[in-house]
Amino acid sequence: MLVDASQGIQAQTLSTLYQAIDQNLTIIPVLNKIDLPAANPERVAHEIENVIGIDKSEIIKVSGKT
């Protein structure tokens, strides 16, 4: 599951996530674009934790620059 750190969880992400869960797929949470000035990785990680139930310590944080 790929989530933009500047936009947060989008409706299409949730739709695709629920389809993956229905098929018993392993969910790998990835927070992308953490280097952008508008990014708020901690807020979005908290959102992922609250909305989806994945512990924020399991979220992989990535950036094209790093």
Backbone conformation region of residue 33, classed left if phi is above 0, alpha if psi is from -120 to 50, else beta: left
- H/E element holding 18? helix 11-22
Q: How many CA atoms lie within 13 A of 63 on its CB side?
A: 12
CA distance 26 to 18: 12
Nearest to 56 by CA among 21, 31, 36: 31
pLDDT in tens, the chain (66 residues): 999 999 999 999 999 999 999 999 999 999 999 999 999 999 999 999 999 899 999 999 999 886
The CATH number fitting domain 2-61, selected from 3.40.50.300, 3.30.1300.10, 1.10.10.10, 3.40.630.10: 3.40.50.300
What does the domain layout of the chain look like in residue ranges? 2-61
